[in-house]
Amino acid sequence: MQTESGPIQDMRDAKRSWAAALLGAAGGGFVPIESFALMHRVVPLGLKQQLLIAACLTYSSLSVWHWMKNALGQSWKAACWVVLLEGGMLFGGIPWLEWTALIFLVFINSTHSASLLARRDELDRVLVAERHKEREPAASTGEAHGGSQNSTSADMQCDHTAGPKLLSQPQEAGGDEVEVLYQRALTLVTSTRTCTVSALKRELNVGHRRAVWLAERLERERIVGPPEIGGRRLLLPEAQAADSHERAVGGQC
């Protein structure tokens, strides 16, 4: 299965939110500009300026390395691109070469920062919506106690869609917490379209073994594909289509 590279996915993510694109351009793009200005406009460089340049290069190198590693699939090639771009910007010695490297770095840092902001914003909105869904059944328990058969049937009709289930599913005795955790993992993966053990650990606040188990279960249930270079699993196309369909059906119900 062909997979999208990091740069392409980052650009698509950044386009989804103008606010994220604006903040990413302002924040991420400022970093290489600052290092360029300090290196070529401040003579001689003092210790403070050298520390500022080192901080800017460290921040920028992580974005460039992430992009090129996902695009090329090899860490050593990504590291070479970091050296070529940042070294060319600071020590190229030829004006057009230095400016070209600067433009590349501004674009990469801006887009990567915007992509991270857009993904975080989307995840926050999904989690807030899920919390509201969890509160609604508790608030309507009294109304549904005497005659809840109709609403239960309606919920089952909304839940009978193909693909991953974002609504509550029958849970085995003693497995409630595990299923709730899995639903949270499923929500996270369908919103970000990627799955990594580190992201599951960070967002769900679970240990390494539980995060590995969640990632493997998502792969077994055909939500994500097998791990790629770096351990990242991509959301499968059929899971994306099923999630879009389920959102539409949920809105109708």
**pLDDT given for residue 32 in this prediction:** 92
> Sorting pLDDT into bands at 50, 70 and 90, what band is 94?
very high
Domain final position from 116, 138, 164: 116
pLDDT of 3: 38
pLDDT in tens, 183-215: 888 888 888 888 888 888 888 888 888 888 998
Give residue for tokens 């990632």.
215
- The one-letter amino acid code at 77 reads K
Per-residue confidence band for 138, with pLDDT thresholds at 50, 70 and 90: low
Domain assignment present for 78: yes
Report which DSSP code applies to 161. Answer: -
pLDDT band per the 50, 70, 90 thresholds, residue 97: very high
Answer whether residue 224 is part of any domain. Answer: yes
pLDDT at 246: 56
Task: Using the predicted structure, report yes or no on whether residue 1 has a pLDDT greater than 60.
Answer: no
Residue 61 has pLDDT above 60, yes or no: yes
* pLDDT over 70 (residue 157): no
Counting residues of the chain whose pLDDT is more than 90, the rounded percentage is: 18
CATH code, domain carrying 214: 1.10.10.10
d(CA 35, CA 57): 7
Which residues, in sequence order, are bridge partners of residue 195?
Answer: 233
Confirm if 218 and 185 have CB atoms less than 8 A apart. yes
Q: Which of 89, 116, 143 is the last residue of a domain?
A: 116
CA distances from 77 to 67, 73, 82, 204 (A): 11, 8, 9, 33
**Count of domains in the chain?**
2
Q: What is the pLDDT of residue 69?
A: 84
Our measurement of the distance from residue 187's CA atom to the centroid of its chain's CA atoms, rounded to an integer in Å, reads 12
User: Is the pTM for the entire model greater than 0.85?
Assistant: no
159 has a pLDDT exceeding 60: no
Residues 214/181, Cβ–Cβ less than 8 Å: yes
* Better-scored residue on pLDDT, 123 or 83: 83
Domain boundary among the residues 98, 116, 134 is at 116
Query: Is the confidence at residue 142, as pLDDT, over 60?
Result: no
**Residue 175's pLDDT is what?**
60
Report d(CA 62, CA 76) in Å as an integer.
13
Q: Is residue 139 part of a domain?
A: no
Range of the domain at 229: 177-253
CA distance 30 to 22: 12
pLDDT bucket at 34, cuts 50 / 70 / 90: very high
Residue 208 domain flag: yes
The whole-angstrom separation of Cα 232 and Cα 185 is 15
Looking at 146-160, 184-198, 237-251, which range is the least confident one?
146-160
Question: CA 143, CA 141: separation in Å to the nearest integer?
Answer: 6
Q: Are residues 103 and 195 in the same domain?
A: no
Measure the CA–CA gap between 128 and 118, rounded to whole angstroms. Answer: 15
Read off the DSSP letter of residue 236: P
Alpha helical stretches, state H, the chain: 6-15, 18-41, 47-72, 75-91, 95-139, 141-147, 149-159, 176-192, 197-204, 208-220, 237-252
List 224's β-bridge partners, or say none: 235
Same domain, yes or no, for 108 and 14?
yes
Q: How confident is the model at residue 144 (pLDDT cuts 50, 70, 90)?
A: very low
Task: Please report whether residue 55 resides in a domain.
Answer: yes
